[in-house]
Amino acid sequence: MTDAALAFTGPKTVEIREADVGEPAAGELRVDTRASAISAGTELLVYRDQTPSDVPVDETLDALDGEFSYPLRYGYAASGVVDAVGADVDSDWIGRSVFGFVPHQTRFVAEPDDVVTLPAGTPPAVGALLPSVETATNLVLDAAPRLGERVVVFGAGVIGLCVTRLLASFPLSSLVVVDPVERRRGLAAAMGADRTERPETVDDAVGDADLALELSGQPDTLDDAIGAVGYDARIVVGSWYGAKRAPIDLGGRFHRDRIDLISSQVSTISPSLRGRWDRDRRFDEALGWLDRIDADELITHRIPFERAPEAYELLDSEATDAVQVILAYGES
């Protein structure tokens, strides 16, 4: 059986290349991929050549090594079915639906401890959204929303929508989501936002918020977040801007109003939480929220793996209203 993997080979260029997966070693299992989720944040930075060249891809994931340079196999959200096991792995694994933090490819091998068994009945495409839910969980832990707070979320992509669903479970005074795309604002309302706004109306509609989360992926949106919060407020920055830059006004009320900027990134847990939280606990919490978030509603496009270049062209289009794009491998 010939396997294939997606490779970023240059700016705005992806290719499907042959991959030699082979049989699993004694302590490994092999997974037949059924779906993988494209990250419209980090993966578009790779696609557009907007990643810093001296930054490691991800030192916490064994499947992702090296630095951001072409050619690069990238991706971290694949789900499928175990189709073979090595001599030292229990045969009960065969047929089990699992998730792995691996790049986009038709099959992959991994050790049992490096995959996650998905709850029974979880569609592969929904299982592939698990990293987004985990990231949202980390963001909410870092944001630490409090009773009666006024909260505004900038960006209603997949991460922003998952964050909105989690925040909607808190007894907040108000939850506002800001995004330029009508379809995304509609999804934000369905996820529990009290109100949605376009970026051009946010100054009039949102002010004196206690907490803002900047999840748009656009560095200039940080200025909007600063303008939307009040004295002694918190802004959690979950976006990774890569090589993108924008002038941010830190010379005005930001300084005198004692506004906190908090960086949140899923590879680590805040030092203030590490006494009680570790990655396993956070991941278990995210897994429990996977079905409650109604993740299937976030999937707007399913594109066959062999047509992957079309998926990136779609996400790169300024006119797109795509939210989550899934690469489908056979049954998904």
Q: Which residues pair with 97 in a beta bridge?
A: 81
Beta strands per DSSP E along 228-318: 229-237, 260-263, 299-304
Please give the pLDDT value at position 332: 46
Please give the pLDDT value at position 178: 97
Read off the amino acid at residue 262.
I
- The closest alpha carbon to 8, from 55, 61, 59, 64, belongs to 64
Alpha carbons 44 and 51: distance in angstroms, whole number? 9
Please give the pLDDT value at position 212: 98
**pTM listed for this prediction:** 0.92
Is cis: bond before 71, omega within 30 of 0? Answer: yes
The 10s digit of each residue's pLDDT in 305-315 is 999 999 999 99
CATH T-level topology, domain 132-263 = Rossmann fold (3.40.50)
Alpha carbons 49 and 53: distance in angstroms, whole number? 9
Question: Which residues, at least 6 apart from 325, have a Cβ–Cβ distance to it below 8 Å?
Answer: 37, 38, 40, 300, 301, 302, 303, 311, 314, 315
CA 198 to chain centre: 22
Please give the pLDDT value at position 242: 87
Choose the CATH number for 3-129+298-328 among 3.40.50.150, 3.10.180.10, 1.10.150.20, 3.90.180.10. 3.90.180.10
Q: What is the DSSP letter of 137?
A: H
Please give the pLDDT value at position 318: 78
Please give the pLDDT value at position 165: 98
The tens place of each residue's pLDDT in the chain, 332 residues long, gives 589 999 999 999 999 999 999 999 999 999 999 999 999 989 999 999 998 766 655 555 454 456 778 899 999 999 999 999 999 999 999 999 999 999 999 999 999 999 999 999 999 999 999 999 999 999 999 999 999 999 999 999 999 999 999 999 999 999 999 999 999 999 999 999 999 999 999 877 787 999 999 999 999 999 999 999 999 999 999 999 988 889 998 988 899 999 999 999 999 999 999 999 999 999 999 999 998 998 888 999 999 999 999 999 999 997 788 999 999 997 54
Please give the pLDDT value at position 243: 84
Please give the pLDDT value at position 66: 61
Please give the pLDDT value at position 204: 78
CA 325 to chain centre: 12
Read off the amino acid at residue 10.
G
Say yes or no: do domains 3-129+298-328 and 132-263 share a fold: no
- The closest alpha carbon to 300, from 197, 186, 221, 175, belongs to 186
CA 85 to chain centre: 30
Strand pairing report for 115-117 and 209-214:
unpaired
Within the chain, where are the H helices? 42-47, 124-127, 130-143, 158-167, 182-190, 202-205, 221-228, 253-256, 279-289, 308-316
Instruction: Report CA-CA distances (Å) from 75 to 5, 29, 35, 72.
Output: 10, 20, 12, 10
Instruction: Report CA-CA distances (Å) from 20 to 61, 283, 332.
Output: 20, 30, 23
| Spans of all domains in the chain | 3-129+298-328, 132-263
In the structure encoding, which two tokens stand for residue 67, read together? Answer: 């630095």
Please give the pLDDT value at position 331: 55
